Amino acid sequence: MKIITILRTRRYTTRVGIFLIIVALIVGMAGCLPDEYEYTPMVAASYHVVGLKSDGTVVAVGHDWWGECNVVGWRRITQVAAGGYHTVGLESDGTVVVVGWTWQGQRDGVENWTEITQVAAGEYHTVGLASNGTVVAAGGVGYDHGQCNVGNWTNITQIAACGLHTVGLRSDNTVVAVGHNDYGQCDVGDWTDIIKIAAGWHHTVGLRSDGTVVAAGYDDYGQCEVGGWTDIVQVSAGYFHTAGLKSDGTVVAVGDNGDGQCEVSDWTDITQVAAGVHYTVGLKADGIVIAVGGSNSGQCDVGTWTMITQGAAGRYHTVGIRADDTVVAVGDNWGGQCDVGNWTDITSVAAGYWHTAGLKSDGSAVAVGWNDDGQCDVGNWTDITHVAAGRLHTVGLKSDDTVVAVGDNGDGQCDVGDWADIIQVAAGEKHTVGLRSDGTVVAAGDNTYGQCDVDGWANITQVTAGGGQTMPERTGHTVGLKGDGTVVAVGDNSYRQCDVSDWTDITQIAAGCFHTVGLESDHTVVAAGYNGYGQLEVGGWMDISQVAAGCFHTVGFKLNGTVVAANLLVELAKWNLGEAVL
């Protein structure tokens, strides 16, 4: 995951494969580079993705709590590595730059390293390969499993790091590894004829000279099932999946596919692959970057939508109401939640995990999608003025300001029958929120994270509710927009999704699984929380009239009726790192 390959190359007159060039340079090149040095584009991936451009500058997108994407000023970079929460860059003079998290010591002294020819980054540590074949490392404080015990290594030609272990390839094509070994990820002592290595969270991968692959370590997701691979020229290891680049420019992948990160069978013309936590990223020969994963089900494929007046975002789907009051939807349709093509006369919509609810102009409601908990049983509702959809429940506000709810009630999220004087409702993972006409707020359901602690709120003009699953628990948070344009939030703040106290001039709010979005009065957008899926990449949005937050994506409905969406795949599609010099 963290190490793709060492990227020092000169201009060659013979057009040979880029990876054969890189292998030769791993063994033979060190020291400072001449002024005419050509930078070879590459990508590295973790919770964030880093791209090295052909001009030696760097771009990054994704998780950025600790400034790990703050690479704007980097110049003359020859290789990049993405750690858990930090980013490392190798400069052309053999020195190193690093940004991001530093509490485990992963940045300590790194910028004093010299004569470095390759860098690697683990979850909490940084590793450097020196030109003399020795290795240096920093970090692991508080998480010390021996992953930095590389001081006695010699004759090393490539390094890899991930999680809590470090791997080195020797000049005799054998492999050494140190660090966390509970799953056998360091049991590589008998490997021979290895020409490249990669390290995942709990597994290690080696590429043999004959193009076959070997792997060791944790295999519960099948990430080590690489025995049948052939014609491989590069390998990359994600947290729980493994990707291999074939000599014909196609890609294979095995392991965890819960986010779709192994859906690479149609890729062609790839020159390098990087496997991150949620994604697999591919670099094409022309510098274009493609990616799969991030639970992408097409929920951001809204670029062709027009004449949309409003909409909603579910777990992995997006819904829009057209100007003629019909409805369109894209994304995951596992439960039939996108089967809204025959809906008419719709005035508002709500999107849950696997269901979609719609309010008709006559005050009735419709719903489609997964209905095992009865969340779509709204056919008898009348006099409804607003609908909201949670994970497995649906809420309706009636014209008499009372509330109805159907679906999963395991945590009391549907116990709203005694609510009165309600003017707006919101539904989260396992809780329901109601806004009273006097600006106070009521909530019902799961309160494990304090997401229902809204009794003291006042002067609220809108409420929204979020939440999602962090194994093994389900979380939740509640957000309120105040009359003065400021925002309050309670509940789970593990991903800083409740860090909204400094927001001002907000006119509308939305809450996703682990993030919160705000629409500003000038029609721009702000966002807080988890960005591992790129859902916070809304900084350049303008002319937005409404925002919606899915589990791992954000949607903006524009004043002109078009729609924009944010996730990591959308951002990576904008990248062009430039062509490699072969």
pLDDT for 47-66, tens place per residue? 999 999 999 999 999 999 89
Q: Are residues 530 and 409 in the same domain?
A: yes
12 domain residue, yes or no: no
The last residue of a domain, from among 276, 296, 316: 296
219 domain residue, yes or no: no
Task: Give pLDDT tens digits for 273-312.
Answer: 999 998 999 999 999 999 999 778 899 999 999 999 999 9
Calpha distance 14→10 (Å, rounded):
12
Interstrand relation of 317-322 and 327-331 (parallel, antiparallel or unpaired) = antiparallel
Per DSSP, 315 falls in state S
Name the nearest CA neighbour of 164 among 218, 110, 208, 114.
Answer: 218
Q: For residue 528, what are the CA distances in angstroms to 62, 276, 293, 448, 475?
A: 12, 22, 22, 21, 16
Handedness of CA 217, 218, 223, 228 (dihedral sign): positive
Q: What's the whole-model pTM score?
A: 0.85
578 domain residue, yes or no: no
List the structure tokens of 98: 């690093």
Q: Are residues 557 and 522 in the same domain?
A: yes
List the structure tokens of 171: 């000049």
Most distant CA pair in the chain: distance in Å? 79
| Mean pLDDT (whole number) for 30-48 | 71
23 domain residue, yes or no: yes
241 domain residue, yes or no: no
Question: For the chain, how many structural domains are there in total?
Answer: 2
- Stretch (H or E) spanning 282: strand 279-284
Give the CATH number for residue 41: 2.130.10.30
Residue type, 44: A
Q: Are residues 397 and 439 in the same domain?
A: yes
Name the nearest CA neighbour of 295 among 565, 538, 533.
Answer: 533
pLDDT recorded at residue 29: 32
Q: Are residues 277 and 321 in the same domain?
A: no
Q: Are residues 183 and 42 in the same domain?
A: yes
Q: Are residues 320 and 438 in the same domain?
A: yes
576 domain residue, yes or no: no
Q: Are residues 336 and 469 in the same domain?
A: yes
List the structure tokens of 48: 């964030």
Q: Are residues 367 and 288 in the same domain?
A: no
Is the pLDDT reported for residue 19 higher than 60? Answer: no
Structural domain harbouring 93: 18-196+268-296
Q: Are residues 448 and 365 in the same domain?
A: yes
Q: Are 229 and 212 in contact (CB under 8 A)?
A: yes
pLDDT recorded at residue 2: 37
Interstrand relation of 441-445 and 473-474 (parallel, antiparallel or unpaired) = unpaired
457 domain residue, yes or no: yes
pLDDT recorded at residue 471: 53
Q: Are residues 319 and 292 in the same domain?
A: no
Q: Are residues 319 and 345 in the same domain?
A: yes
Task: Give pLDDT tens digits for 436-470.
Answer: 999 999 999 999 999 999 999 999 999 999 998 76
Please name the residue that has the structure tokens 């450097």.
128
529 domain residue, yes or no: yes
| Mean pLDDT (whole number) for 552-565 | 97
Q: Are residues 444 and 560 in the same domain?
A: yes
> Which has the minimum average pLDDT: 15-29, 170-184, 535-549?
15-29
pLDDT recorded at residue 469: 74
pLDDT recorded at residue 3: 36
Q: For residue 38, what are the CA distances in angstroms to 68, 143, 153, 284?
A: 25, 38, 30, 17
Give me the helices (H) in 12-122, please: 18-28
